[in-house]
Amino acid sequence: MNTLAPELEADLADLESAEDFLDYFRIAYDPAVVQVSRLHILQRAHDYLAARPAGTPLEFEDYRGALALAYNDFLKSDALTEKVFNVHRRAAGIATIPIGAIGRARH
């Protein structure tokens, strides 16, 4: 798990919408893009941050970079193409199965 600077953690707790996050991190955005892809953008930013090595402190610029990358993903693409959520991956025929669910069939 990555750690967060205390002052940044307090600031982030006050943010409620995708627009709040984009404004806070000073990322210019098209409201029409955010209106359609707000949850996808936030989830993709979370995924980018989660991919960082465990124990890495997260600073303002880390969050800003992840959110900017996520926003740009959806500026050039859409939710169906990006497949951020499981429902879109399943619709594309991509499924994940827990390793514990794999085994021999019982008769």
Query: pLDDT tens digits for 54-79?
Result: 888 889 999 999 999 999 998 886 66
Question: Does some domain include residue 54?
Answer: yes
Which residue type is seen at 17? S
Domain extent at residue 66: 6-79
Residue 6's pLDDT band (cuts 50, 70, 90): confident
Question: Does some domain include residue 101?
Answer: no
Residue 89 has pLDDT above 60, yes or no: no
The C-alpha atoms of residue 106 and residue 104 are separated, in whole angstroms, by: 6
The C-alpha atoms of residue 47 and residue 66 are separated, in whole angstroms, by: 9
Write down the pLDDT at residue 88: 44
Question: Does some domain include residue 88?
Answer: no
**Total structural domains within the chain:** 1
Question: Does some domain include residue 102?
Answer: no
The encoded tokens of residue 22 equal 């984009």
Question: Does some domain include residue 94?
Answer: no
Question: Does some domain include residue 90?
Answer: no
The C-alpha atoms of residue 83 and residue 69 are separated, in whole angstroms, by: 15
The closest of 73, 74, 48 to 61, measured between CA atoms, is 48
